[in-house]
Chain A
Amino acid sequence: MSNKVIHAIYNDDDVLMDAVKQTRAAHHHIEEVYTPFPVHGLDKAMGLAPTRIAIASFLYGLVGISVATAMMRYIMIVDWPQDIGGKPSFSYIENMPAFVPIMFELTVFFAAHLMVITFYMRSKLWPFKKAENPDVRTTDDHFLMEVGVHGNEEDMISFFKSTGAVEVKVIEKH
């Protein structure tokens, strides 16, 4: 009983949005929504928490600029402060303009790549991962809302029929 889910399938994103709002209003718990493309405002309608990936990216950028600064300070100033074409290598700040291009690029490099890797890890994406779409049509032109069955199954089926679903299925999930 507890691991039964309803798959309500829609063929229009506007209908889906309305259905999501009605489902939330009726206090059914939406497990997941599968769509072939990003539906603007769907996360808000589902009440999902905003992403924090931008914050993560900012912090990765700080790591990047620290790595660049520490690396170049050690190599160019501390380890072997050679006179290369008259550039002042007495302290980091004196030669800093020459280091800025690398500081900038490493900041962007760390911020971008670590953010992407974070995204892959948090959304559990990797090569050879088994695809999770419950219905192949959801990658083409259909929208699927998965709702856990709690209480009366018949009532729920008729409820989702009334929200404009073109198909309502009850699935035993393992």
Chain B
Amino acid sequence: MYTFSSKLKTFSLALMVLGIIGIGIGFMSVPNKEEVKEMLKQGHGHHESATSHDTHESKDSHVKQNVSHDTHKSEEVHADKEHEEHVEHVLHQQQNKPWSAFYVACIFFMLISVGVLAFYAIQQAAQAGWSPILFRVMEGITGYLLPGSIIFFLFLVSSGFHLNHIFIWMDESVVAKDHLLQAKVGYLNVPFFLIRAAIFLAGWNIYRYVSRKNSIAQDSATDHSFYKKNFKWAAGFLVFFIVSESIMSWDWIMSVDPHWYSTLFGWYVFASFFVSGITTIALVTLYLKSKGYLENVNTSHIHDLAKFMFGISIFWTYLWFSQFMLIWYSDIPEEVTYFVTRIENYNLPFFGMLVMNFLFPLLILINTDFKRLSWIIVMAGIVILFGHYIDFYNMIMPATVGDQWFIGWSEIGSILFFLGLFIFVVFNALTKAPLVAKGNPLMEESKHFHY
């Protein structure tokens, strides 16, 4: 049995407290209208109306419609009105900032546990012989799914009640002026959105609950009935998962840019959190191993996890590039704005994440000997996790805060809070059951796994 060390517990609680302070400062430092005006005066100078025109055109076509209506009026009134609209626009982006930062960290950590759950189900359904020794570690990590998804769902509800403006299609005054959004109202409406979210989160949590229960029941069982049940549940879950995962990515991520769509987006999001999940398994395993809790885990298990980290990193890159290149190549205006805003306003995070998520893992994890060294895996793992946080940042932020992004109190505070909560919940869940699922019929093979 694992005992949650008091040091780690204190550490996770400290992270949560620091995180809450950061989030609080983020919410309190949202500027009001006058401050935004002042900020714009200092920042943009005389080019203000020109830039405002640009940002409006590239981001909000509903504002653009207003602008085009105004062109008949005199120049001065036009410039004045535009300036007002620009201030309003920047103000909304500033107000979105702490919410978006919270949202990115919230969905990122929740999806890590979903990624681990998917990996777990795949290992069960494939009857993998190497991984059963890691099942309890994976079950521990998926322990975060329940608290994580509750917080996440509450956030979606708060958006539904218009406490924030992450999802622009939830604003009826915007929809009233926007034909594209009107055409999507049948799908993008708050009640249906929340019902879908509830079904997906419930489905994942039910599988987590049942598989965990069966796994523990198998430890003291005399036959393999619970193992067989888990096999069937895993197969069923994977079917449900791939459907719900696709729709989830349209709902929770793609709909922040409701004018834009991409068909492989679901796979792309999946690859991103799947590799993060596998990386988290490797990091937690190495931590527990270093504390002497996983005596049967050897470098071959680590090697296998590292191969998955390497392979899925490349898979993520493949999907990222396929999405980017197809849109860049055809350069259709309605699609390409997505990448134009990202390359113009998010140049460093957008291309920086390619280095972190592709180039670095590619060069460091290609070596067989390196894949057996703990410090290499930990270093690569931390880079991969940061890289995929930035990936989610790049998916959400350009739509909600635009060029007003900054990694400051809100962002770091949100990461720290969810990291602390994640560590607390996961290592607490690990204490609840023995770290070796001894009832699993493949356990002997897994203990002696050698590559």
A97 CA to B328 CA, complexed, in Å: 8
| Min C-beta distance of B425 to chain A, whole Å | 41
A86 CA to B321 CA, complexed, in Å: 20
Task: Note all chain B residues with C-beta closer than 8 A to A98.
Answer: 325, 329
Chain A-chain B contacts (Cβ-Cβ < 8 Å), number: 12
A40-61: which have CB < 8 Å to B? 54, 58
- Confirm or deny: B221 has a beta carbon within 8 angstroms of a beta carbon on chain A: no
Q: Which of A54, A58, A86, A97 contacts B325 (CB 8 A)?
A: A97
- Confirm or deny: A100 has a beta carbon within 8 angstroms of a beta carbon on chain B: yes
Q: Which of B325, B331, B366, B368 contacts A100 (CB 8 A)?
A: B325
A87-146: which have CB < 8 Å to B? 97-98, 100
Most buried by B among A58, A97, A98, A100: A97
Task: Note all chain A residues with C-beta closer than 8 A to B328.
Answer: 97
Known: A97-B324, A97-B325. A58 touches B331 (CB 8 A): no
Q: How large is the interface on A (under 10, 10 to 19, 20 to 34, 35 or more residues)?
A: under 10
**Cβ B329 vs Cβ A100 within 8 A:** no
Q: Which of A54, A58, A97 contacts B329 (CB 8 A)?
A: A97
Smallest Cβ-Cβ distance to A86: which chain B residue: B331
Task: Note all chain A residues with C-beta closer than 8 A to B329.
Answer: 97-98
Smallest Cβ-Cβ distance to A101: which chain B residue: B325
Interface of B is mostly: helix
Q: Which of B321, B324, B366 contacts A58 (CB 8 A)?
A: B366
| Min C-beta distance of B29 to chain A, whole Å | 38
A86 CA to B331 CA, complexed, in Å: 10
Q: How large is the interface on B (under 10, 10 to 19, 20 to 34, 35 or more residues)?
A: under 10
| Min C-beta distance of B348 to chain A, whole Å | 16
| Min C-beta distance of A141 to chain B, whole Å | 27
Smallest Cβ-Cβ distance to B324: which chain A residue: A97
A58 CA to B321 CA, complexed, in Å: 22
A25 CA to B328 CA, complexed, in Å: 64
A58 CA to B370 CA, complexed, in Å: 15
A58 CA to B363 CA, complexed, in Å: 10
Task: Note all chain B residues with C-beta closer than 8 A to A54.
Answer: 368
Task: Note all chain B residues with C-beta closer than 8 A to A100.
Answer: 321, 325
A58 CA to B362 CA, complexed, in Å: 12
Smallest Cβ-Cβ distance to A54: which chain B residue: B368
A86 CA to B333 CA, complexed, in Å: 14
Task: Note all chain A residues with C-beta closer than 8 A to B331.
Answer: 86
A128 CA to B328 CA, complexed, in Å: 52
A54 CA to B368 CA, complexed, in Å: 10
B315-339: which have CB < 8 Å to A? 321, 324-325, 328-329, 331
Task: Note all chain A residues with C-beta closer than 8 A to B368.
Answer: 54
Smallest Cβ-Cβ distance to A55: which chain B residue: B367
A53 CA to B329 CA, complexed, in Å: 37
A86 CA to B366 CA, complexed, in Å: 38
Smallest Cβ-Cβ distance to B363: which chain A residue: A58
A98 CA to B324 CA, complexed, in Å: 11
A98 CA to B331 CA, complexed, in Å: 12
A35 CA to B265 CA, complexed, in Å: 50
| Min C-beta distance of B56 to chain A, whole Å | 25
Task: Note all chain B residues with C-beta closer than 8 A to A86.
Answer: 331
Smallest Cβ-Cβ distance to B321: which chain A residue: A100
Offer 12 A-B interface pairs, CB within 8 angstroms, sorted by A. Answer: A54-B368, A58-B366, A86-B331, A97-B321, A97-B324, A97-B325, A97-B328, A97-B329, A98-B325, A98-B329, A100-B321, A100-B325
The 3 closest A-B pairs by CB, nearest first: A97-B325, A97-B328, A98-B329
